[in-house]
Amino acid sequence: MKNQKGKVAIVTGGARDIGKAVSVKLAEEGVKVVINYFNNPDDAKETQDLIHSFGGESIIVQGDMTKKADVEKVVSEATKAFGSSIHYLVNVAGGLVARKTLSEMDENFVNLLMRLNFNSTFLVTQACVPFMPAGAAIVNFASQAARDGGGPGAAIYAASKAAVMTYTRGLAKELGPQGIRVNSLCPGMINTTFHDEFTKDVVRQNVAAATPLKREGRASEVADLVAYLLSDEASFLTGNNVDINGGLAFS
C-alpha cells in the first residue's frame, strides 16, 4: 500500500483484535482513522494511543452499528474531524454471541445475529456511500463459516456472514459505476479473542494441525490483506470474497 496521507477510513469494531490491527495498519500508511467501538473504551483508547505513538491520526467514536442513529453519529464525527470525504470503509463489527443448535435458539436470537452481522454492514455502508468519492473502497467481513456452514452451534452466524458475501457482490455491481470497489474477506482460524471465547482449545489445535501451514492466522496478516484490497494496487478487484485461512479450505 502506497502512502495514503490525506485519506480517511472508518473501521467499525476497530478497537480490538482484527479491527485494531486494521486501524493501526491503515494509520501506518498515513490514513486518518475513525475507530468505532461498542462497549470497551479502554480497548479503543489503547488502539488510539498506539496510533498516536508513531504520529498517526485517529478519533474514537462509540456506537452500536445495528442502530441507525449511532451509525449516523459515527459518520458525522468522521466528517467533522477529517472533512467531507470518506475514502475507505472497513466493516469489521459483528459477532457470534453464543453457539446454539436449532433446538436451542429462538427467533430473537436469529434476528440478533442477522442485525449484528448483516444489518450493521448495510447500515454503515448506506450512511457512508454518499461521502465516498470515485476511487473509494469498502471491505466487508464475512467468514470461512459462510463457506462451510460453520462449527457446532454456528449455523445462523454462518448464514448471516453468507448474506454479507452475497451483499458484497451486489454492492460491487451497484457502486462500481460510481468508482467505488467492494470486496469482503472470509477469515479462517485467526488468533483472536473471538476464538478464545467461543472455540475450545482442542478444536483450535486440531484446526491448526489440519491447516497446510500448521498454525492459526494472525490479525496483522488479515490487516495486510485489507490494506491491499483498499489500495490502488487492487484497483481492478471488486465483488470478491477473499479467503484467508492458511489453505484450510478453498472456494
> Does residue 44 lie within any of the structural domains?
yes
Q: Does 60 fall in a domain?
A: yes
Is residue 1 in some structural domain? no
Question: Residue 75: in which H helix or E strand, if any?
Answer: helix 68-82
**Closest Cα partner for 18 from 188, 209, 178?**
188
Distance CA 247, CA 251 (A): 10
Q: What is the pLDDT of residue 155?
A: 97
- CB-based contact 222:235 (threshold 8 Å): no
What φ, ψ does residue 119 adopt, rounded to 5°?
Answer: -60, -40
Q: What is the pLDDT of residue 3?
A: 66
The residue type found at 38 is F
Within a domain: 52:
yes
pLDDT value for 4: 83
Given the residues 37, 157, 167, 228, select the one marked as catalytic.
157
Provide the domain count of the chain. 1
Q: Are 191 and 19 contacting, i.e. CB atoms less than 8 angstroms apart?
A: no
Q: Does any domain span residue 206?
A: no
Element spanning 119, H or E: none
Where the chain has pLDDT below 50, the residues are: none
Active site residue 167: no
In a domain, 152, yes or no: yes
Q: What is the predicted pLDDT for the residue at 140? A: 98
- Identify the pLDDT of residue 237: 98
For residue 51, the number of C-alpha atoms closer than 13 Å in the C-beta half-sphere is: 29
Domain span including residue 140: 8-190+219-244
pTM of the complete model: 0.95
The number of residues making up the chain comes to: 251
